[in-house]
Amino acid sequence: MKVLVPVKRVIDYNVKVRVKGDGSGVDLANVKMSMNPFDEIACEAAIRMKESGAVEEVIAVSIGVKQAQETLRTALAMGCDRAILIVATDDVHTDIEPLAVAKLLKAVVDAEEPGLVICGKQAIDNDMNATGQMLSALLGWSQATFASKIDIDGDHATVKREVDGGMQSIKVKMPAVISVDLRLNEPRYASLPNIMKAKKKPLDEKTPEDYGVDVSPRLEVVKTAEPPERDAGIIVKSVDELLDKLKNEAGVI
Amino acid sequence: MDFALTEEQQAIFDMARRFGAEEIAPHARDWERDGTIPRDLWGKAADLGFGGLYVSEEAGGTGLSRLDATLVFEALSMACPSVAAFLSIHNMCAAMLDRHGSEDLKSRILLPACRMETVLSYCLTEPGAGSDAAALKTRATRTNDGYRVTGTKAFISGAGYSDAYVAMVRTGDDGPRGISSVVIEDGAKGLSFGGLEDKMGWRSQPTRQVQFDDCAVPAANLVGEEGRGFTYAMEGLDGGRLNISACSLGAAQSALDATLAYMAERRAFGKPIAAFQALQFRLADMEIALQSARLFLRQAAWMVDRKHPDATRHAAMAKALVTEAGSRVADQCLQLHGGYGYLADYGIEKIVRDLRVHQILEGTNEIMRLITARGLLAP
């Protein structure tokens, strides 16, 4: 079985995010970019399946700017076998929307015929949490989201999902799209020898036109703003005043 | 001329930085308190290829260039310069065995060292021979099946902790050509250690004297040829100086990063202290110092990689420039933190303490200037 792992180049999780002066989005010029952390977990899951012998090939795919090639090299250095880069824009500030990404991924699935797609549950930049679900709908495949444990057994997979208030186990038919949550695994570091081997692994470059997909935006960002600054705390004079504020100002009791 | 890191080099730096941030930095203070670095760290480091950074791949190493290795040390020292520098010493020994060791030494000593199942220490300095290393007195006398070694080595990082000691010993006459390099394994009869040195910095590394008292060393443990030990030791030092410079650079950079964050938060006279122009000038000077140090270091590493005739001089100049810039920046960062900089909780005072010795070891910065001047005055 082949596994496809979509990975996204996003602003590094350690970077302090700054909104652009005109409010059109987050400033990404000269900012450290990395692989979306949930996608790292997806890569790790796929690589472990390969190491266990359940999977023959792991293909990483990224859609975005040309620099996403670095993100794919990271995936290859972790242990993915080959990579596909779909250059869909030359502007680092253009985010390809989930539906366009899902359509492109469907086209890649049609061409590569993997038996499983493992992706991050969401990208930490726009937190859409939509691509995996859309992809499964377009493909007509089963979906299992927020996976914190995956067991594949022949023609079905058992997935433990993190849901509000606890865990849920579901059994889905293969092929499937599985989106992974934070606690599925701890991704490995790419070793120095594997970083050097990654350069020699194949990385195909494509465009949306190659797959006949239109990636023009359907959503309009109206405004991006910094979260409001937290007000300073106040000292209350009595328990009664505290209760009053909790009841009438904060509305928590 | 292309000054950019390659994609691969960036990946190396990022990985080492992350490994340091996750596996070293959270424990650095505890290890300093304990005076030792837990062994299991080395297993994790070796899995990533840190055990034989520039050892050839055939011998079990990673086969990096010296320039690539400076990226590793810069990144690791952002977490803890003491731990990073300890790894540099191990790698310096490993490189000597790779370049000059027999096949037997490579399979018996080097291979487990690359896997970091064993750790190596480097023994050159003696109580009476520091800068004038060629005056070392530890004597190795020929026997039927090897050598008997007697003498004392001083300031040895990892003494009493490591599994083998790469020691420069006198097998011949006075002067550099009478020196050979031998591997002395832990547990050898006649090998003992002094008390734990109480040091200003590098406190997580155990440092002791190493004493050889009629210590039997098999002939197979001679590295390369007899009488060439000093040459091997000096070769190793070019790279060691690059590494130690990189350790100053990374640690100073982390101090500067912490200072920038602190200055944006700390308020005085009604505004963040980063808003004061006098302090901004100091930030700018630190940035200029570190960026230029980084460039000069990488150029020196590039020259060592190309075996440029001037490589030794450039490694020496880089070592003086970068370690002094690093310590100056760390000291300024402490000052800008005010009283908090003096507290261990803020991590700056440890960097100041750890970096100070970089101006002394791997050849003092005075010796670095001597090497530089000799190059200038050579006919």
Terminal-to-terminal C-alpha distance of chain A: 54
Distances (CA, A) of B92 to A170, B85, B170, B232, B316: 54, 10, 20, 11, 16
How many residue pairs from chains A and B have C-beta atoms closer than 8 A?
Answer: 44
Q: Determine if residue A127 is left, alpha or beta; phi over 0 gives left, psi from -120 to 50 gives alpha, anything else beta.
A: left
B320 token code pair: 């003086």
Q: How far is B75 from chain A (nearest CA, A)?
A: 14
ipTM: 0.89
Chain A residue closest in CA terms to B6: A70
pLDDT tens-digit map of A6-49: 999 999 998 989 999 998 899 998 899 999 999 999 999 999 99
Q: How far is A240 from chain B (nearest CA, A)?
A: 34
Chain A residue closest in CA terms to B61: A193
The dotted CATH code for B230-377 is 1.20.140.10
CATH architecture of B120-227: Beta Barrel (2.40)
Write down the domain spans for chain B.
7-114, 120-227, 230-377
Say if B30 is an interface residue toward chain A (CB within 8 Å): no
Query: CA angle at residue B113 from B189 to B10, to 5 degrees?
Result: 150
Task: Determine the angle formed by the axes of helices A131-139 and A98-112, rounding to 10 degrees.
Answer: 50
Report cis status (omega within 30 of 0) of the bond before B272. no
Inter-chain CB proximity B49 and A70 less than 8 Å: no
The rounded mean pLDDT for chain A is 95
Question: Which burial class, exposed, middle or buried, applies to B91 when counting CB atoms under 10 A from its CB (0-12, 13-18, 19+)?
Answer: buried
B29 token code pair: 């203070």
Question: Which burial class, exposed, middle or buried, applies to B53 when counting CB atoms under 10 A from its CB (0-12, 13-18, 19+)?
Answer: buried
Residue B362 falls in the annotated catalytic set = yes
A78 token code pair: 């972790």
Tell whether the model's pLDDT for residue B379 goes beyond 80. Answer: no
DSSP string for B248-313: HHHHHHHHHHHHHHHHHH-EETTEEGGG-HHHHHHHHHHHHHHHHHHHHHHHHHHHHHTT-TTHHH
| Radius of gyration from C-alpha coordinates of chain B | 21
Inter-chain CB proximity A70 and B11 less than 8 Å: yes
Distance from C-alpha of A129 to C-alpha of A144, rounded to nearest angstrom: 13
**Domains in chain A, please, with CATH?**
2-249 (3.40.50.620)
Distance from C-alpha of A194 to C-alpha of A187, rounded to nearest angstrom: 15
Residue type, B154: A
Asked if residue B309 lies in contact with residue B302, where contact means CB atoms within 8 angstroms, the answer is: no
Question: Which burial class, exposed, middle or buried, applies to B328 when counting CB atoms under 10 A from its CB (0-12, 13-18, 19+)?
Answer: middle
Domains B7-114 and B120-227 share a fold: no
pLDDT tens-digit map of B10-22: 999 999 999 999 9
Token pair 């005739």 is found at B309
Say if A189 is an interface residue toward chain B (CB within 8 Å): yes
Say if B81 is an interface residue toward chain A (CB within 8 Å): no
Inter-chain CB proximity B7 and A189 less than 8 Å: no
Token pair 């800008």 is found at B336
pLDDT tens-digit map of A76-97: 999 999 999 999 999 999 999 9
Distances (CA, A) of B18 to A43, B24, B117, B141, B273: 17, 9, 23, 48, 30
pLDDT tens for chain A, 253 residues long, are 999 999 999 999 989 899 999 988 999 988 999 999 999 999 999 999 999 999 999 999 999 999 999 999 999 999 999 999 999 999 999 999 999 999 999 999 999 999 999 999 999 999 999 999 999 999 999 999 999 999 999 899 999 999 998 999 999 999 999 999 999 999 999 999 999 999 999 999 999 999 999 999 999 999 999 888 888 888 999 999 999 999 998 888 8
Say if B292 is an interface residue toward chain A (CB within 8 Å): no
Say if A12 is an interface residue toward chain B (CB within 8 Å): no
Q: What is the pLDDT of residue A252?
A: 87
Q: What is the pLDDT of residue A231?
A: 82
Asked if residue B158 lies in contact with residue B187, where contact means CB atoms within 8 angstroms, the answer is: no
Range 103-132 of A in CB contact (< 8 A) with B:
none
Chain B residue closest in CA terms to A197: B8
Q: How far is B120 from chain A (nearest CA, A)?
A: 21
Q: What is the pLDDT of residue A157?
A: 97
Residues of chain A in contact with residue B11, where contact means CB-CB under 8 angstroms, are: 70, 73-74, 77, 190, 195, 198
Q: How far is B48 from chain A (nearest CA, A)?
A: 4
Tell whether the model's pLDDT for residue B190 goes beyond 90. Answer: yes
DSSP string for B110-157: IHHHHTTSS-EEEE--BTTBSSSGGG---EEEEETTEEEEEEEEEEEE
Task: Give the DSSP H or E segment for A153.
Answer: strand A142-153
Inter-chain CB proximity B15 and A34 less than 8 Å: no
Residue type, B256: L
Token pair 């003092």 is found at B364
**From A70, A74, A191, residue closest to B49, measured CB to CB:** A191
Distance from C-alpha of B67 to C-alpha of A97, rounded to nearest angstrom: 40
Q: Torsions phi, psi of A166, nearest 5?
A: 155, -155
Say if A173 is an interface residue toward chain B (CB within 8 Å): no
**From B10, B18, B64, residue closest to A189, measured CB to CB:** B18
**From B11, B19, B64, residue closest to A73, measured CB to CB:** B11
Q: How far is B161 from chain A (nearest CA, A)?
A: 26
Task: Determine the angle formed by the axes of helices B229-265 and B348-356, rounding to 10 degrees.
Answer: 160
Note the pTM of the prediction, 2 decimals: 0.91
Residues of chain B in contact with residue A34, where contact means CB-CB under 8 angstroms, are: 14
Third-level CATH fold of B7-114: Butyryl-Coa Dehydrogenase, subunit A; domain 1 (1.10.540)
- Residue A84 pairs in a beta bridge with A61, A204
